[in-house]
Chain A
Amino acid sequence: MQEWLIHPVVQGAVVPFLAALIAGLLFAPLRLAGLCLAAGFAAAVYLVVGFQFSPLNTVRKLLLLGLAAPALGVVADLALRPTRAAGPVAAVICGAASIWVFLALLKQKDLAQALIAAGATAAYVGWQVGAVLALRHDSVRAGAAAFALGLGTGVAAVFAASATLGLYALAFGTASSTFLLLQMIGGKRIFAGMTFSLTAGLLAGLIGAAAVYLAELPWTALAVLAAVPLAARIPVPDRWPVWGQVVALSALTLAVAAGSCLLAWQASRGPSG
């Protein structure tokens, strides 16, 4: 059993998939199927390095926010009834929070470099949060974006020499696939809301940025990943069945994410760092 649990495929895909499926089925009646993302991600964290938050280094701050996001999402969906302004406001807050996450690394840079890096990081994280949150009323599009962001960020992070970050991202990508699967099997959309979209956007943003800071992911790969939520907005005929829309939008978003993986792969072809 232990040998199975330490296998990367089990840690980053099999167990997160099962955890997300169970959570999705359990919470769908409460309009909280988006918690499947948190369940899949938490399962991967538990298996890869476990829950430990002291000392609070960059990755642990990332985990903390990644696990706090679904809780905030639940509160927002159930109690606050978020308005149109919720997306931009959340994007700004998450962008600012990303500076706290990467503060230890920013402090090691010259002031000018630190300001540029902080601005770029906040912009990327804020963009991913805002762009995925903008899809929250269409659970197929939000799911397809999260699916591609997870797989794209995960594969790119592995190419960039971080298996840990890669598995975290692959786990939330796999968990997103269960969110899509539930809609395909049920033949109807399920509520995504802030619970799903905030978690997906924040994890995609923070893990992608972490792979640049802590591994060797080129920033150009993030520029391509930033286009994934846009690809999820491409019109598909409403008359198509849900499974058809899922397949089409997933193919589109995955094609864009594959571009990011290609850039990460090409960067890894250069001389050793």
Chain B
Amino acid sequence: MKAGVLCAALSSIPLVAAAAPESYTFDPHHTFIHFGVDHNDFSTIWGRFDKSSGKFTIDRQAKTGAVEISVETASLSTGDGVRGDRPRSRDEHLRSVDFFNAAEFPRMVYKASAVKFSGEVPVEVSGQLTLLGVTRPVVLTVDRWRCAAHPVTKRGICGGNAVGSLLRSDFGMKWGIPATGDEVKIRVTFEALKD
């Protein structure tokens, strides 16, 4: 009897250890990457990418985590997708070789494995963004974070917002600078379902 209990206890150790890091998959219907760029020093034009996919892992006890998200560059929208009386809309121009070059670089990827925590809450993610074939560090500050059971499905879900910025010229995207700003503000709004 004692041997059986001991055996059961021992066999559960690896399971407990393995259960600590949790893995989540981003919900593509509730995850968007928004970007904002200065326009002629008058206003900030905001756009977003509609299609993305990825995962993150989090280990609250070990205070570690990792994120990988892939974004389809052609899925961008800035609210100006209709040509009207112009040859091309702004969204078409942004997809062209002048900016995101979506034909040659259909995806940009963000990978991070350095996460800072405040208690059990991640507050900063340091990773590498690969855009236009160039990889540069990008830091995201998590300014909203909540994990709970989904109100309907009862499945584990985490959501939040993260903000950051980058210089697009660092990635070789130089067209239109400085009339169209070099600094790109990033705001990621996400929800992810526990695997």
Q: Do A and B come from one complex?
A: yes
Q: Which residues of A contact B (CB under 8 A)?
A: 6, 48-50, 52, 55, 57-59, 104-105, 108, 158-165, 210, 213-216, 264-265, 268-269, 272-273
Q: How far is the CB of B40 from chain A (nearest CB, A)?
A: 11
Report how far A165 CA is from B175 CA in the complex, Å: 11
Report how far A49 CA is from B178 CA in the complex, Å: 12
> Closest residue of chain A to B90, judged by CB?
A161
Given known pairs A6-B179, A265-B87, the reply for A161 and B104 (CB within 8 Å) is: no
Given known pairs A214-B101, A216-B88, A268-B83, the reply for A57 and B93 (CB within 8 Å) is: no
Interface pair B104/A57, CB less than 8 Å apart:
yes
Interface pair A160/B101, CB less than 8 Å apart:
no
Q: Can you add 18 more A-B contacts, CB < 8 Å, to A57-B172, A58-B104, A163-B98? A: A49-B175, A57-B104, A57-B132, A158-B87, A159-B87, A160-B87, A160-B88, A161-B87, A161-B96, A162-B97, A163-B175, A164-B97, A164-B175, A210-B97, A214-B97, A215-B97, A264-B87, A268-B83
How many A-B residue pairs have C-beta atoms within 8 angstroms? Tell me.
79
The B78-118 residues at the A interface (CB cut-off 8 A) are: 81-83, 87-89, 91-93, 95-98, 101, 103-106
Residues of chain A within 8 A (CB-CB) of B174 are 48-50
Interface pair B178/A6, CB less than 8 Å apart:
yes
Interface pair A105/B92, CB less than 8 Å apart:
no
Checking A59, A268, A272 against B97 with a beta-carbon cut-off of 8 angstroms, the contacting residue is A59
**What is the interface residue range for chain B against chain A?**
20 to 34
Residues of chain B within 8 A (CB-CB) of A59 are 97, 101
Q: Which residues of B contact A (CB under 8 A)?
A: 81-83, 87-89, 91-93, 95-98, 101, 103-106, 132-134, 172, 174-179
Residues of chain B within 8 A (CB-CB) of A159 are 87-88
Can you name 11 A-B residue pairings with CB atoms under 8 Å? A55-B172, A57-B132, A105-B104, A161-B92, A161-B98, A164-B97, A265-B87, A268-B88, A269-B83, A272-B81, A272-B88
Report how far A134 CA is from B185 CA in the complex, Å: 52
